[in-house]
Amino acid sequence: MKNTTTALETFNVECNSEKLMVLETVLDEVSYRKLMALENEKLHRFIADAIDLCRPDSVFVCTDSPEDIEYIRQVAIDQGEETPLIIDGHTVHYDGYYDQARDKEHTKYLVTNEMDLGANINSIDKASGEAEIREILNGIMAGKQMLIRFLSLGPTNSDFSISCCQITDSAYVAHSESLLYRPGYEQFKTIGDSTDFFSILHSAGELDQYNVSKNIDRRRIYIDLEEELVYSVNTQYAGNTVGLKKLSLRLAIQKAARECWLAEHMFILGVKGSNGRVTYLTGAYPSMCGKTSTAMLPGEYILGDDLAYLRKRNGSVYGANAESGIFGIIQDISETGDPVIFKALTTPREIIFSNVLINEGTPYWLGDGRETPQKGMNHSGEWFEGKKDAEGNGIPLAHKNARYTIMQSELDNCDPNLENPDGALISGIIYGGRDSDISVPCEQAFDWVHGVITKGASIESETTAATLDKEGVLTFNPMSNLDFLSMPVGQYVRMHLDFAGGLNEVPHIFAVNYFQREGGEFLTGIRDKHVWIKWMELRVHNEADAIKTPTGLIPFYEDLKKLFREVLDKEYTLEAYVRQFTCRVPENLAKIDRIERIYLETSGTPDILFEVLEAQRQRLLEARDKYGDMISPLDY
């Protein structure tokens, strides 16, 4: 039993026709009519409460009509949240200098006494958290216009669809959503009075002279799992504000658990095989582990780059992209390295660049392979080579987390199934990591349980120079979803294990590591990942054999040699193969110890996890007795 009544509950109890009157008094006739066409009481209450709380000067309801979509794009420019660039359709947006990434510290779940999310998940007592954030939101939209959008996660009118209502005072946020998500106004008509939708209330708060959020010290992102409601305030960075991205992923993970499907931080890639077949693989990799470059492999199809929903139908797994656009890292995109995306970013079409350098209306970013100007505008304001910030740190010409926002359909290799309400048949799941000397470049799990536990639930990734942490420290990140878990990690792993129940076609599980190193040198080339992916495609169709090792199934040299020739037109030596696919027993044993320790400290871990890790340890010990610490793939 709950012993406290929250402010929202009080509002709902009191939300009689008098409270709802605010809709009639604040909305103009056109917006009122648009809203009333959606006959949903919970929706009307959410919007009435937001208006009552934030007190905007005016409200705009977006129906997704071309005029409404254009209106939002234009407001973003008129308000100075975006500036048009030389190329048609391109604009630039800046987030504040200290608002360049997801704020993990201030992203919290609002929890009641009876909820247990485990020790590692950031949470706050619901009544006090709600009171705190509503106090910050109180009157925050004075002098501003509130924008209301209806959107769909997943293709519309499908099993995958989740209707969402986003309220924001940032036209940049609303505009980003035009590029990143499917329109949902019409879908809201079809859900009738259902309470089954996500609600997001965002305000950028007071803006400074550069139109960036001023009160960063009062930046808060609070998530109410019971109400499927998110509050976000005093921030603009899309990962904190675009409600359908990581904020909804947290809600979707809980919803998926209730409804027996999976909401994952995964790309979906369509790999071309023989006779015109296309095989779909999903992939979960922590950041800076090659996720986007794998999703965008030249010559293959991209179905999604960040968020995948996986559902079971007729004994098989089908996947859909929760999004229809890309909010991608722009650093290191160059004409030679990434021709498809580079071309898209340098030709006319709708794109929002964020936190890049602008010189004479042209965007520049780190690692773009071009001669870069010595001055311009960037996330620090007027920028010049050698500029330092308040802490004395040199300011690079663009932020490392600078991004581009683009509709996926703008890419030449966009998968034709993007809007397919049935999704695509998923044949395999890839888990990525980053370590210098533990995992081989690619490996297949023995079966679903072995894969979920030793690959997905055991992901570790070395910290890189891109974070403030010490470099090379292994960080635990199960299914690369740790930042977004809305349940104890043991329960989340159990949910994956159970997912295979009732399946006739169980997806194959693979692991990759693109970052093996010896003496500072990478053992694999940047494009070699394409070969590992093509090998997986063959494995799915039983067209390649594999060698059984203590940790999984690895490729035969001859198969890889052939693929290197076909895919990359490259010679692949036996020497390279042996170095890359040697099993390092002590490193693998130490990893098992680390993972086991983490799960022992977490309540609710299923026993099978410990059994599977122990069996892997025993296989490694037996192999060590027979072959020694370093086992060549030619030994078995």
Binding site for Mn ion (CB under 5 A): 306
Tracing tokens 């960063």 back to the chain, one arrives at: 216
Q: How far is the CB of 389 from Mn ion (least distance, A)?
A: 26
Residue 239 binding target from Mn ion, ligand SPV, none, CB below 5 to 8 Å by type: ligand SPV
The answer to whether 179 contacts ligand SPV (rule: CB under 6 A) is no
What are the structure tokens assigned to 253, written together?
Answer: 């993970």
* Nearest of 59, 69, 77, 348 to residue 182 by alpha carbon: 69
Q: Which does 441 bind (CB under 5 to 8 A by kind): Mn ion, ligand SPV, none?
A: none
Q: How far is the CB of 245 from ligand SPV (least distance, A)?
A: 5
Q: Which of 62, 238, 411, 612 binds ligand SPV (CB under 6 A)?
A: 238
Closer residue to Mn ion in complex, CB, 408/605: 408
Closer by beta carbon to ligand SPV, 91 or else 292: 292
* Minimum distance, C-beta of residue 264 to ligand SPV, in the bound complex (Å): 12
Q: What are 274's two structure tokens?
A: 């023989």
Does residue number 534 form part of the binding site for ligand SPV (CB under 6 A)?
A: no
Tell me how far CA of residue 457 lies from CA of 284, 296, 327, 403, 496, in angstroms.
Answer: 11, 25, 26, 29, 9
Among 126, 134, 246, 539, binds ligand SPV (CB under 6 A): 246
String of DSSP letters for 47-70:
HHHHHHHH--SEEEE----HHHHH
Q: Residue ranges of the alpha helices (H) in 459-516?
A: 489-499
Report the nearest approach of Mn ion to the CB of residue 265 (Å): 6
Of residues 428-447, those binding ligand SPV (CB under 6 A) = none
Minimal distance, residue 249 CB to ligand SPV, in Å: 8
Task: Say how far apart CA 325 and CA 334 lie, in whole Å.
Answer: 20
Out of 54, 289, 442, 583, which one is annotated catalytic? 289
Min separation Cβ 250 and ligand SPV, Å: 11
Query: Rounded to the nearest whole angstrom, what is the least distance from the CB of residue 592 to ligand SPV in the complex?
Result: 27
| Residue 591 touches which of ligand SPV, Mn ion, none (Cβ within 5-8 Å per kind) | none
Identify the H or E element spanning 553: strand 553-555
403 half-sphere exposure, CB direction, 13 A CA radius: 18
Residue nearer to ligand SPV on the CB measure, 27 or 302: 302
Reported for 343-348, long-range contacts at CB under 8 A and 24+ positions apart, including other chains, are 343/412, 344/406, 344/410, 344/411, 344/412, 345/404, 345/406, 346/87, 347/87, 348/87, 348/88, 348/89, 348/90
Judged by CB under 6 A, does residue 247 bind ligand SPV? Answer: no
Please say whether the beta carbons of 535 and 560 come within 8 A: yes
Yes or no: say if 240 and 483 are a contact pair by the CB < 8 Å rule.
no
Q: Which of 34, 90, 102, 108 binds ligand SPV (CB under 6 A)?
A: 102
Is 289 labeled as catalytic in the residue annotation?
Answer: yes
238 binds, among ligand SPV, Mn ion, none (CB under 5 to 8 A by kind): ligand SPV
Alpha carbons 509 and 479: distance in angstroms, whole number: 12
Nearer to Mn ion, 49 or 306 (CB): 306
Beta carbon nearer to Mn ion, 213 or 401: 401
Residue 539 binds ligand SPV (CB under 6 A):
no
Q: How far apart are CA 323 and CA 302, in angstroms?
A: 12
Verify binding: residue 359, ligand SPV, rule CB under 6 A.
no
Nearer to ligand SPV, 140 or 288 (CB): 288
Three-state DSSP state, 303: strand
| Contact range with ligand SPV by CB under 6 A, out of 20-28, 238-246, 380-388, 617-625 | 238-246
| Distance, CA of 293 to CA of 430 (rounded, Å) | 14
Task: Look at strands 508-513 and 424-433 and give their pairing.
Answer: parallel
CA–CA distance, 513 with 434 (Å, rounded to integer): 6
Residue with CB nearest ligand SPV?
Answer: 239
d(CA 132, CA 126): 10
Instruction: Assess 93 for contact with ligand SPV (CB under 6 A).
Output: no
Q: Which of 239, 304, 325, 488 is the binder for ligand SPV (CB under 6 A)?
A: 239
Whichever of 310 and 567 has its CB closer to ligand SPV, that residue is: 310
Question: Nearest approach, Cβ of 246 to ligand SPV (angstroms)?
Answer: 4
Taking the complex as a whole, the smallest distance from the CB of residue 562 to ligand SPV amounts, in Å, to 35
The partner in contact with residue 561, picked from Mn ion, ligand SPV, none with C-beta cut-offs of 5 to 8 angstroms by kind, is none
At a CB cut-off of 8 Å and minimum separation 6, what does 110 contact? 123, 124, 125, 126, 129, 130, 222, 223, 224, 225
Residue whose CB is nearest to Mn ion in the complex, by number: 306
Q: By C-beta, is 327 or 514 nearer to ligand SPV?
A: 327
106 lines the binding site for ligand SPV (CB under 6 A): no
When the beta carbons of 327 and 572 are compared against ligand SPV, the nearer one is 327
User: Binding to ligand SPV (CB under 6 A): which residues in 278-337?
Assistant: 287, 306, 327
The SS3 call for residue 407 is strand
Identify the bridge partners of residue 368 per DSSP, sorted by sequence position: none
- Cα 628 to Cα 437: distance, rounded to the nearest angstrom: 16
Residues that bind ligand SPV (CB under 6 A): 102, 238-239, 245-246, 287, 306, 327
Give the residue numbers annotated as catalytic, written as ranges.
289
